[in-house]
Amino acid sequence: MTKLSVNINKIATIRNARGGNTPDVVAVAVDCERFGAEGITVHPRPDERHITKQDTYDLAKIVTTEFNIEGYPDQRFMDMVQEIRPAQATLVPDPPNVLTSNAGWDTQKHLEQLSELIAQLKSWGVRTSIFVDTNLQNIEYAAKTGVDRVELYTGPYAEEFHHGKEQAIAPYVTAANRALELGLGLNAGHDLNQDNLRFFRQSIPQLEEVSIGHALISDALYLGLENTIQRYKYLLS
């Protein structure tokens, strides 16, 4: 079964718009788990425009499922991971000024850097994941780093889905098969939603985890958080 990790960045975005602690990020994470989510994901950016460093430490105390911290692996990020020791650290290549993660790593170019980072994370007992696109070379060089999993960047899939889902999924199936051949676990995330999630999961049944934030939190405004999480879990079943 594919696990659902709820990215709660958007909850923090709403809170930060007014200051204070409404909505309460920690309380929402507890509710997500209570409603069936198998993980909580955060991306604590340096400018703290949504999840803050303090949020990350506060969440580490209460998350009872899998805590996934994703981000660019600068010293600040690595220090947090070392101190918190989450279930998983997902390395993304985006610089601090981008709006959202919108590309995977060039793993050949950054092989030495990523290999050193992965070795360090694994020495702390943290499961590792690298954010990648469907370029097979990037999958192959990700494997060379010693990483446990790759997270497939699904933005292009979501963009092409309504123009032709078979064409949209094809490179992901090829990439997933190559990753599995190399002994890598499979995660996925970015713009997955109620329309495109089931087809993605059915096409790649070995998928271990999806991380979904923007669409899920947006759906919860209409459907309620518990109902929304149950809908997403149903699509993954």
| Statement: residue 14 has pLDDT above 70 | yes
pLDDT of residue 100: 61
| Statement: residue 220 has pLDDT above 70 | yes
pLDDT of residue 114: 98
Pick the catalytic residue from 43, 110, 151, 209. Answer: 43
pLDDT tens digit sequence for 129-144: 999 999 999 999 999 9
pLDDT of residue 96: 64
* Entry pTM: 0.95
Across the chain, what does the average pLDDT equal? 96
Long-range contact set of residues 25-33: C-beta below 8 Å, sequence gap at least 24: 25/51, 25/55, 25/58, 25/59, 26/55, 26/58, 26/59, 26/62, 28/225, 29/59, 29/62, 29/63, 30/62, 31/225, 31/226, 32/6, 32/8, 32/225, 32/229, 33/63, 33/64, 33/65
| pLDDT-based confidence at residue 49 (cuts at 50, 70, 90) | very high
Annotated catalytic residue 110: no
pLDDT tens digit sequence for 76-127: 999 999 999 999 999 999 866 665 666 899 999 999 999 999 999 999 999 9
pLDDT of residue 97: 65
- Boundaries of domain holding 9: 3-236
Looking up residue 52, the CATH number of its domain turns out to be 3.20.20.70
Pick the catalytic residue from 33, 66, 70, 151. Answer: 70
Annotated catalytic residue 66: no
pLDDT tens digit sequence for 175-195: 999 999 999 999 999 999 999
**Domains identified in the chain, total number:** 1
Pick the catalytic residue from 66, 151, 190, 209. Answer: 190
Annotated catalytic residue 70: yes
**Average of per-residue pLDDT across 14-25:** 96
Tell me what percent of the residues of the chain surpass a pLDDT of 70: 97
